[in-house]
Structure 1
C-alpha cells in the first residue's frame, strides 16, 4: 500500500522519518510518497485532507480533529523549545510595555503553534504578516516588519545577525501551565481503515527508535535538506525537538496537548472536540 506523507525538511523531521522512508526498518508493506513542505503548507494540505499522514502544528490540528487522529510517536514537545519573538529594535527587547498594537509582526503561518502562543502572550498584536519562517530575519533587517516570530533553526542564528530577543514564548507557556510545549505532531487521516492506521503508528515508532539507536544513520539525508546548516547546528536542532515524547507521548505529553486544546476552547479559538484526538485512546 502506498500512502502520501508530508513532513518538513527540518532536521528533526528528516531524522525521525529517515528509517521509515528508506526501509531501514520493516514498514509492514507500506510505501510512502513523500512531500517536503514548510509547516504552514502542510497545515493547508491537511485542511484540504490531501495527505494520508502528515506533520502538523498542534494549533492547526485543533481545527482538524474530525479529519485526522494523532499518532503516539513522532511528536515534538519539550521544555525550552518554544518560538521566540525578536526585533531589530533593541529598545523593544527591554520594554515589553511598549509593544503596541500598531507594530507589524512577521509570523510563520496563521495556524502554527507559534502564532497560538503569540496570541496568548500578546493578544493585541493583530498586524500580522504571514511568511516562510526562513524569511523572517531578513524582513526584520530590511525594516519590512517590526517584530518577528521565529521557529526552527533560526533560534540559533538571529543573534549573529544583530537581532534581539523580545520574549521566549515557550518560557511564557511553561510559566503559565507547567507543561511541555506542544509544537507539532504526526497525524493520520481518519478515512484510512483501522488496521492501516495502527500499522502506521507501529512503523513510525520503529523509525523513531531506529533514529535514536543509530543517530548518524540518516546524516546524508538530513544534510540534503538542511539548508546549508552545519552538522553541529543540525544535531543541536534535533536534540531540542526530538526526545522521549517523540517515541511515545505518555501521560505528560498528552496532558500538555490537552491543556493547550482546553485553553484554545476557553478563548473561543476552536470548537470543543467531539471525539478522542488520539489514534490510541
Structure 2
C-alpha cells in the first residue's frame, strides 16, 4: 500500500478548474498523491501566495507571478490561457442617441474590478493607459459575482468582469465597452494569459505537471464523468453556461503552454513591469 503523502492544492470552484482537476481530486490519476483541495477565489490565492501562506500548489493570476516567482515555479499546464476569453468592461446604459461607448466615456469614472493582482486588472490598466484620456477615477475591488449587480444598480459607473460574465451580462441589462481579450490579441497577436498553476520550488514540478496533464487527458476522454462535481461548485450556473465556460477556458494551453504560451506571459508581464504596474523581476524565472 502506498505511503505517498497527500498534496495541498487550492483552485477556484469555477467549471474550468473543477473540470481539469476532477480526475486527480477523485483518485483517478494512477500514482498521483491524494489532493487536499481548498476552493478559493483567485484574489484570495494571489495574496496567499505572496505571503507564502498558501498550499504547495495553487491557481493564481498570471499578473500575480512577479510577487511569488522566487518561491513558486510556474507550471506549464493546468491554467487558463487562450483566445476569445478575455475580461470585459461593462456599463449600465449606452449613451443617449445611441452614441458609441468607448474608453473616453470612462474618464474619471468609478470602476469595480475583481482584484488588483489579476490579469484582468493588468489588461485593464494597460488598456486604460492607451484608451482612456486622463485615466479612470476611483477603482473599487469587489468579488467578481457582485460586480454586475453593482453596475446594474448604479452603485458604480462600470465594471471589469471575468469568467461566466462573458455569457450572462446581457441578462443584467449591461453594455460592453471593451473586450480586453480582443484588444490584447489585436495589439500583440498573442493569446491572453489568465490563470496560472504554481508549485513551491521545493517540490518535484515535473511530476506534478505530469499528474495535471493526466487529469486533463482524463477529463477530455470522459467529459461526462466530472459533470456532478462541476455543477456542485458552479455557483448557480446552468449546465449549458458551465459547458461554455469549459469550452472557452480549457484548451491546448491547459495541457502545455508551449512557446506561444510562454511568449504571451512574457509579453504581458514584461510590458506591465516596464510601466511600473508590477515589480521588476527576472523574466527567466518564468521558465
TM range (shorter): over 0.9
CA deviations on 1:168-209 (whole Å, 9 max, x unpaired) are: 01111011100000011101012x24xx33221111111111
Structure 2 contact 95–101 (Cα < 8 Å) conserved = yes
From the superposition, tell whether residues 216 and 64 of structure 1 become closer, same or farther in structure 2 (CA, over 3 Å).
same
Instruction: Give 1:145's match in structure 2, choosing from 140, 156, 172.
Output: 156
**Where does residue 132 of structure 2 map in the other structure?**
none
**Where does residue 247 of structure 1 map in the other structure?**
255
2:107 counterpart of 1:107: no
Unpaired runs of at least 5, structure 2: 130-134
Instruction: Give 1:261's match in structure 2, choosing from 262, 265, 269.
Output: 269
3-state SS in 2 of match to 1:94: coil
**Where does residue 181 of structure 2 map in the other structure?**
170
3-state SS in 2 of match to 1:134: helix
CA deviations on 1:218-241 (whole Å, 9 max, x unpaired) are: 001000000121111111000000
Q: Distance in 2 between matches of 1:39 and 1:48?
A: 14
Report how many aligned residue pairs link the two structures: 275
**Where does residue 216 of structure 1 map in the other structure?**
224
Structure 2 contact 61–117 (Cα < 8 Å) conserved = yes
Q: Distance in 1 between matches of 2:103 and 2:83?
A: 26
**Where does residue 125 of structure 1 map in the other structure?**
136
**Where does residue 278 of structure 2 map in the other structure?**
270
How far off its partner does 1:48 sit?
Answer: 1.6
- Kindly report structure 1 stretches of 4+ aligned residues shifted beyond 4 Å: none
Q: Distance in 1 between matches of 2:261 and 2:79?
A: 9
How far off its partner does 1:68 sit?
Answer: 1.1
**Where does residue 213 of structure 2 map in the other structure?**
205
2:44 counterpart of 1:44: no
**Where does residue 14 of structure 2 map in the other structure?**
10
Unpaired runs of at least 5, structure 1: none
Q: Distance in 2 between matches of 1:143 and 1:177?
A: 34
Q: Distance in 2 between matches of 1:22 and 1:277?
A: 32
Aligned-pair Cα RMSD in Å: 1.6
Instruction: Give 2:68's match in structure 1, choosing from 60, 64, 67.
Output: 64
Q: Distance in 1 between matches of 2:81 and 2:283?
A: 22
How far off its partner does 1:72 sit?
Answer: 1.2
Q: Distance in 1 between matches of 2:100 and 2:283?
A: 44
